[in-house]
Amino acid sequence: MLMSGAAFGGNLSASLKNYYAEYEIVLQCQSQAQLSTADADLAKAAMAKIETYYVNKDASIDKEHLLKQAVADKDEGFRIVTRSGKSDLRPYCRMSLNELLTKAEEIN
pLDDT at 90 over 60: yes
Exposure of 97 in the CB half-sphere (CA atoms within 13 A):
21
| 7, part of any domain | no
User: Could you list the residue range(s) of the whole structural domain that residue 55 is in?
Assistant: 13-107
Which CA distances in Å does 59 have to 15, 41, 55?
A: 14, 26, 5
**Among residues 89, 76, 97, 101, which one has the least CA distance to residue 33?**
89
Question: Total structural domains in the chain?
Answer: 1
- In terms of phi and psi (left: phi > 0; alpha: psi -120 to 50; beta: otherwise), the region of 85 is left
> Is residue 27 a part of any domain in this protein?
yes
Residue 2 lies in a domain: no
Q: Which residues of 13-41 are buried (b: 16+ CB within 10 A; e: fewer)?
A: bebbbbbbbbbbbbbbbbeeebbeeebbe
Give dist(CA 107, CA 76) in Å, integer.
28
Query: What is the Cα–Cα distance from 36 to 33, expressed in whole angstroms?
Result: 7
Q: Is residue 4 part of a domain?
A: no
**Highest mean pLDDT (candidates 37-41, 56-60, 91-95):** 37-41
Any domain includes 1? no
* Cα–Cα distance measured from residue 55 to residue 74, given in angstroms and rounded to the nearest whole number: 21
The pLDDT of residue 5 is above 70:
no
Average pLDDT over residues 38-62: 95
Q: For the full predicted model, state whether its pTM sits above 0.85.
A: no
Question: Which of the two residues, 22 and 84, has the higher pLDDT score?
Answer: 22
3-state class (DSSP) for residue 14: helix
